[in-house]
Structure 1
Amino acid sequence: MSILLRSAHIIHSESAFNGLTRDVLIENGLIRQIADRIDAPDHAQVVELPNLHLSAGWVDMRVSTGDPGFEQKEDLTSACRAAVAGGFTDIAVLPNTRPVVDSKDTLGYVRRMAEGQPVAVHPIAAITKGAKGEDFTDMIDLHHAGAVAFSDGEHPLQNADLLLKTLQYLRPLGGLLMNRPEETGLTRFGQMHEGVQSTLLGLKGMPAMAEELMVARDLRLLAYVLGEAGTTEADTLPVLHFSCLSTAKSVELIRQAKEQGLPVSCDVAAHQLVFDDTALAGFDTFLKVNPPFRSRADVEALWAGLADGTIDAIVSDHSPQDDESKQVEFDHAEFGMTGLETVFGALMSHNPGLPLGQLIAALTTGPRRVLRLPTATIAEGEPATLTLFDPSGTWTFDRSVSKSKNSPFLGQTLTGRVLGTVRGGKLWR
């Protein structure tokens, strides 16, 4: 099957065609030709849309699916449909299912369910059995069985010795440890960011220090491991990855670590770049997330971290919750919002001036490098793993294809429209 993309404006910093408008012909899953004008082959599927932009396929490093065990919230099929709607060709899924992805059996289940899906699904395996933070999983077996990284996902690692030994264990494998930094002893019963707004609303706060202490701790442990074993060529790739940064101090700590040459990376959830803690004035449970929305100064620091390359990737932190988990009093509501379908629209609608190329890099080259995924290049002869979008197009998010509907963007008109994806020789919309 042939697909012809007419007059596509290419956004890909590693492509010789970056910034140019070209026709792109795709045949049998490969980019066959890129030229000013290409005659459409017989029976080709022609895509000719106003302001068509083209990039390498977008990668989401942090997705919760609930499959297996919580399929009433989301299963892999519905998550993949939501990913396509959001412009993603690849998603990395967290291990917090029932049972937890902590063995080759459960990892194999995820891989089997991912077969034939419109997006590539990359399972993240748990560091500890049941993601309970107690006993190690068999990470060597899980690594060879296809785990793209290791994390306890929604459960931050509290035990410093566990994190230290995990770093020591994974480095010889070339593996990646992902951790969401939170000192849970400081956030117990917390509902939102600790500050003026939490005081006004009468809600228990979650201090920024709870995140920053863990970032500092984990960086010290990483430095200790490297000092003990010495750096190797493998350490040019990140060994430790921080998920869902939310504070200015966290960004600064990682900026300093990178300047010192530590093999570390980090991401930020798209919604953290949009909302601050004042958004919770209406007690909307769809805005209750962890880490919580911080101050406006923190939001500005996150954008600055993207601009200078401190933050490597943008994620959806897609956390589907059913009505029973959200349609309750704020104190009793579960954390999390769906995000796969709205990442690009949310970012473009609130972008303070970050160049489009840098924003796209945080959805493409950044996460691919961190996860050690094959490079996706827009060049003749390369596999066609692509995202089609209109950065200035407007659309109304009036219907979600996710099983859960806990998105604060439902009903809103957003700027930045996904037009489709190309993967496996097919056009997905």
Structure 2
Amino acid sequence: MKLLLKAVRIYDPSSIFHLQQQNILIDNGLITSIGGNDQQADQTIEMEGLCVSPGWVDLYAQVGEPGLEHKEDLESLGEAAAAGGFTDVLCMPNVQPVVQTKGAINFIKAKSAGLPVNLMPTGAVTVDTQGKELTEMIDLQRAGAVAFSDGAKPLQAAEVIVKALQYLQPFDGVLINRPEHTRLTEYGQVHEGIVSTQLGMKGIPALAEEVMVTRDLQLLEYTGGRLHFSLISTAAAVEAIRAAKAKGLHVSCDVASYQVAYTDHTMVPFDTNYKVSPPFRSEADKEAILQGLADGTIDAIVSGHQPQDTESKKLEFDLADFGIINLETAFAVANTTMCDTLPLEQLIDKFTTAPRQILQMPAFGIAEGAPACLTLFHPELKWTPSAAGTRSKSKNSPFLGRELTGKVIGLVNKGQVVLNHSF
């Protein structure tokens, strides 16, 4: 089938057509022509203001299958990812059983084969993500694990970090860790500050993230290797990573697109849809994250997608589970809340080039003869996400019913076309 993207603005710094408005002809999954006129096609997509970029990559999403399919299965995750413009999604290993065997890796790869989205398996660093004994990471890498992490469970033991970094070096693997000192955050509900005191809730101190970032960077300097921090949320963490990069350490980091959408002062008190980990922080932390994105300290923007069923959220705040769904709204939330600080060109880079480099993935540029791995989006289109319209099995989101600016129109990947808009 021939598909014509008509007069779309191209966002791809590697392309000679970067920031130009061009026609793109796709035939059987390959870009066959850019810039031609009056091409014959079986389907034409034309929309004023439509933009296209290489397919977006998400570096952090939780999925329930196997074991917690009622929250999210691989098919619903793929549908939500496609609706959000992601052609590739890194799936955390926190399922039941944990992704720590070649069979578990192959299960995800097999499920992903027929989907328009590539679901990339993350191998657990430690057995059952208990933070103690290392898994057989070399075997997992050979089976197809793209990265290694204990996902939602932060690695606590320094010796585990050291051994994992050393273990991964022979094949230049990347260790992904969520920096949090869990003893300091025990029973915490919201960011520790004036608001937590006013609400009478135990706070989650910024210090819990900062001490682990500092420690892990010292360990990285000692061992070498590649380290990536997930879901950064504090000003001191951003500054520590900035200094580490200036020293030449191989460190990268990401932030959830929703992290600057609210602060502890602007979240709705006791609404469990605002209960995330790490929590919405202070205004100073928000400004530091925006600055870190602008100057390149923060490499990527992720969905931080963590589906929770109704029974896990419709509880008293201190009993409810952490997390929100965000695959479908990740770009819109980032575009709405970061646009004053981050130009669109730089924002798209946080979804495309940077995450591919972190995972050492092949670069899919927009060029004649290249595979069509593309995301279509409109940066100025306003829309309001709804529970009825979401593809995820779970509905835990503070953005349902909130008008957002910037919408994913569809994607082209693996010879498949997924559209969220009628043409």
> Scaled by the length of structure 2, what TM-score is found?
0.97
Question: What secondary structure sits across from 1:280 in the alignment?
Answer: coil
Q: Say yes or no: does 1:246 pair with 2:233.
A: yes
Please, which of 373, 388, 412 is the counterpart of residue 361 of structure 2?
373
Of 309, 329, 337, the match for 1:322: 309
Equivalent in the alignment of 2:205: 207
Which residue of 338, 341, 345 corresponds with 2:332?
A: 345
Deviations 1:368-387 (Å, cap 9, x if unpaired)? Answer: 00011110101111111000
User: Which has the larger displacement, 74-83 or 390-399?
Assistant: 390-399
**CA distance in 1 between partners of 2:384 and 2:190 (Å):** 28
Residue equivalent to 1:389? 377
Structure 2 residue 72 is matched with structure 1 residue 74: yes
After superposition, where does 1:7-406 map in structure 2 within 5 Å? 7-35=7-35, 37-41=36-40, 43-226=41-224, 239-351=226-338, 352-398=340-386, 399-406=389-396
Q: Is the 8 A contact 2:294 2:341 kept in 1?
A: no
Distance in 2 (alpha carbons) for counterparts of 1:52 and 1:38: 17
Q: Deviations over 1:273-330 (max 9, x none)?
A: 2111113342110110111110011111111111111111000010000000000000
Partner secondary structure for residue 179 of structure 2: coil
Give the whole-Å Cα distance in 1 for the aligned partners of 2:283 and 2:42: 49
- Give me the identity figure in percent: 52
2:412 is aligned to: 422
Deviations 1:73-127 (CA, angstroms, capped at 9, x unpaired): 0000000100011111110000000000011111111111111011011100100
C-alpha distance in structure 2 between counterparts of 1:38 and 1:149, whole Å:
43
2:402, 2:191 → 1: CA distance? Answer: 25
- Report SS of the residue matched to 1:72: coil
User: SS where residue 132 of structure 2 aligns?
Assistant: coil
Provide the rounded CA distance (Å) in 2 between the counterparts of 1:50 and 1:164.
52
Question: What is the letter of the counterpart of residue 355 of structure 2?
Answer: P
Tell whether the 8 Å contact from 1:96 to 1:153 is kept in structure 2 after alignment.
Answer: yes
Deviations 1:105-152 (A, max 9, x none): 111111111110110111001001111111111001001000000000
1:410 aligns with 2:400: yes
Conserved? CA contact 1:201–1:281, under 8 Å: no
Structure 2 unaligned spans of 5+? none
Structure 1, gaps ≥5 residues long: 227-234
Q: Is the 8 A contact 2:290 2:341 kept in 1?
A: no
Aligned equivalents of 1:187, 1:150: Cα separation in 2 = 24
Distance 2:416 2:74 in 1: 19
Say which SS state the counterpart of residue 267 (structure 2) adopts: helix
Query: What RMSD, in angstroms, separates the aligned Cα atoms of the two structures?
Result: 1.0
Structure 1 distance, partners of 2:68, 2:104, is 14
Q: Deviations over 1:220-256 (max 9, x none)?
A: 0010013xxxxxxxx6xxx100000000110010000
- 1:232 aligns with none
CA contact (8 A) 2:24 2:34 kept: yes
- For residues 267 and 385 of structure 2, the distance between their equivalents in structure 1, rounded to whole angstroms, comes to 21
Tell me the distance in 2 between the aligned counterparts of 1:187 and 1:426. 44
Which shifted more, 101-110 or 87-96?
101-110
Contact 2:314 2:320 in 1 (8 A): yes
Aligned length: 416
Rounded to whole Å, the distance in 2 between the matches of 1:121 and 1:88 is 10
SS of 1:127's equivalent in the other structure is coil
Where do 4+ consecutive residues of structure 1 move more than 6 Å? none
CA 1:78/1:288 → structure 2, altered by over 3 Å: closer, same or farther? same
C-alpha displacement of 1:389: 0.6
